[in-house]
Amino acid sequence: MTLDAATSKNTYNKFITRIVETDAVWGLTKDETWATSSSAEFDETEVILFWSAQKGAEACAEDEWEAYTPESISLVEFLENWCVGMYGDGLLLGADWGADLNGKERDPLVVALDVINELKAKGKTLNFTQYDSQSEFEEQVIEALGDEE
């Protein structure tokens, strides 16, 4: 069963809002391996799953991920290392998927840009470590997305 478009969009928008509010993103890890799922949309593509709250990650720590534990990462690390790195590796991002492992698969740079837009809407600025500023990060993400077209 897949989520309908409206539910998927609502879940995603809540994910973006929550991670900007809390400055944290959650994943499931075991021995430095992060929980992934095979893409339902693209053959031989992995989706790394992230949640906006610890309880969302905990709810998915069952079956093949039973030995995995929730781990948080800062929003800056998520943007600089995860979103950029996943894009470079051709991976997709799953945001706040349910325990049934259904959810929308997203381009990690699109997620990064949505986070930047939410930060701007909230009047928040992050202190990036690998970029001179939030604006520089945004410009590079927009440029990379433009190169895809």
| Per-residue pLDDT tens digits for 42-92 | 889 999 999 999 999 999 988 888 999 999 999 999 999 999 999 999 999
In this model, does residue 2 exceed pLDDT 60?
no
Number of domains in the chain: 1
**Is the pLDDT score of 144 beyond 90?**
yes
Q: In 10 A of CB 68, how many CB atoms?
A: 20
The whole-angstrom separation of Cα 53 and Cα 37 is 19
Measured distance CA(137)–CA(134) in Å, rounded: 5
State mean pLDDT over 15-27.
97
Please list, in sequence order, all residues whose beta carbon lies within 8 angstroms of the beta carbon of residue 95, skipping any fewer than 6 positions away: 11, 12, 15, 16, 50, 51, 52, 103, 104, 106, 111
Single pTM value for the model: 0.91
Domain limits at 115? 5-148
Task: Report phi then psi at 42, rounded to 5.
Answer: -130, 125
Average pLDDT over residues 125-137: 96
Beta strands in 31-104 (DSSP E): 33-34, 36-38, 46-50, 69-74, 92-95
Instruction: Return the SS3 of 127.
Output: coil
Rounded Cα–Cα distance for residues 100 and 2 (Å): 9
- Nearest-angstrom CA–CA distance, 135 and 116: 9
